[in-house]
Amino acid sequence: MDEKNILLAVTGSISAYKSADIANILTKKGFNVNVIITKSALEFITIPTLQTLSKNKVITDVFDDFNPEEVTHIALAKKADLFLIAPASANIIGKVANGIADDMVSTTVLATKAPVYVAPAMNTNMYENPIVQDNIAKLKRFGYNFIEPGSGLLACGDTGVGKLASIEDIIKVVESVFK
């Protein structure tokens, strides 16, 4: 298999720490993993962790290391064979569904032609909110793929749907795209 480029977008959810395992496992399986991260996600996980595990520089801002010869978010969008948002917060789902491009993740996902896989992770009440469900349905109509969240005890103490899908399931989905 030729090396495939995975663009892993990490957004603001308590499960952002699980993105370290996702990056690590995909890298060990031979994928080239580039990570982009929202400022909110940086409250839950650090850049050095993701850089060490992905073996690539983590990008947090559209204007990081501005290079006039290569517009970073466009270059990453074009390089991606698969764009994975894990975890995907209600915020990023809403932004993308409505064409809002105001950070590295939302700007890059709107610029990619790669298949996009979205793994939601949020409180049950947020996930079940009709606005969030409408945004998910809208993205599905546009061809975005969803890795459905699990159900159970959430970090906030509530029980219900909204847990990030298992790392194993996320990895299986990514691998299945290239088989």
Separation in Å, CA 70 to CA 59, 76, 80, 135, 142: 14, 10, 15, 32, 28
Annotated catalytic residue 156: yes
Catalytic residue (choose from 131, 137, 153, 156): 156
The pLDDT tens digits of the residues spanning 96-155 come to 999 999 999 999 999 999 999 999 999 999 999 999 999 999 999 999 999 999 999 888
Domain boundaries defined on the chain: 5-177
Percent of the chain with pLDDT over 90: 88
Q: How far apart are CA 163 and CA 154, in angstroms?
A: 6
The pLDDT tens digits of the residues spanning 138-170 come to 999 999 999 999 999 888 888 999 999 999 999
CATH topology for 5-177 is: Rossmann fold (3.40.50)
Question: How much is the pTM?
Answer: 0.96
Picking from 88, 73, 79, the residue whose alpha carbon sits closest to that of residue 36 is: 73
139's tokens: 């993205």
Can you say whether residue 99 is alpha, beta or left, with left for phi > 0 and alpha for psi between -120 and 50 degrees?
Answer: left
